[in-house]
Amino acid sequence: MKTDTIFYRLFQSFSEFFFELINQSSEQANAYQFSSVEVKQLAFRIDGVFLPKTEAQPIYFLEVQFQKDHNFYGRFFGEIFLYLSQTSLESDWRGVIIYPNYQVESSKIERYQELLNPRRVQRIYLNQLENRPPISIGLAIVELIIVQETQVFEIATPLIAEIRQQIIDEKQQQDLLELLETILIYKLPRANYKEIEAMFSLSDLKQTKVYQEALEEGIKEGIKEGEILTKLASIPRMLKLGLSIEIIAASLDLPLETVQQEVNKNQ
């Protein structure tokens, strides 16, 4: 599972979840811009950096580490200090490392003890999130990444309902549901896709103009309603794979105009 990509997407769209994760006010997100940063000279890449809009706030360096790596801390602090030597920002800094559990963390930390002071670097162990009541939507999504496969449906089903009830903004709601669907596909590689699809209500999609037109065209061609829904729902995922609109239309056997309308709706 490409956890660094999942976390990048999550924090890029919903920066407030990061600040909830480190026990800060979610309103802090308004003071930051999130991005991935490549450090020149040695081609270091930091998973995520929250750059403050004012120098009164610290810079947050984020790394997601799901595999044991005895050289991790050397590389982590090397990236940070090289970046600090190149930036014009005068802000203080904090480090945040996300681990699935204690077992993944390297035991070779003697030379980094002073830097691993909790006020300087915060280490998050996702398997401990359940000890933080009440849990928010953001933290529940993060927790879903590391739960056992047998628990996925138990956690995801009420979470989908909660997102639909609590997230008023339609685009934000759709972004969250798409991210959640991506996590489920990663977490359940052996599951039938229709099992996952069944968890997501497509009633909103049925109300759109693009669906109505596709349905009308499909009826003429003898295509079933469920097949049309499945095709339209797959367009965002195919776009994220880098496929062109023309290839998507040909693969799904849909008119180019229909695919283009669906793309425009999700932009």
Task: Report the C-alpha gap between 158 and 62 in whole angstroms.
Answer: 29
The answer to whether residue 208 scores a pLDDT higher than 80 is no
pLDDT band for 230, please (50, 70, 90 cuts). low
pLDDT band for 81, please (50, 70, 90 cuts). very high
Which residues are CB-neighbours of 254 under 8 A, at least 6 positions away? 214, 231, 248
Task: Report the C-alpha gap between 80 and 95 in whole angstroms.
Answer: 9
Specify whether the CB–CB gap between 155 and 140 falls below 8 A. Answer: yes
Angle at 206 between CA 205 and CA 209, to 5 degrees: 85
Residue 45: in which H helix or E strand, if any? strand 44-52
The strand ranges marked E within 76-185 are 93-99, 121-125
Helix (H, G, I), strand (E, B) or coil at 97: strand
pLDDT band for 63, please (50, 70, 90 cuts). very high
Q: What is the pLDDT of residues 165-185, one digit of tens each?
A: 888 888 888 888 878 877 877
The answer to whether residue 40 scores a pLDDT higher than 60 is no
What the block records as the tokens of 62 is 């984020």
Give the pLDDT of residue 18.
Answer: 92
Q: Report the mean per-residue pLDDT for the chain.
A: 79
Half-sphere exposure of residue 258: CA atoms within 13 angstroms, side-chain side: 23
Phi then psi for residue 51, to 5 deg, are -90, 125
> What does each C-alpha distance from 134 to 21, 112, 130, 160, 190 come to in angstroms?
12, 34, 9, 17, 32
The answer to whether residue 133 scores a pLDDT higher than 70 is no
Half-sphere exposure of residue 181: CA atoms within 13 angstroms, side-chain side: 20
Residue listed under structure tokens 């880098």: 242
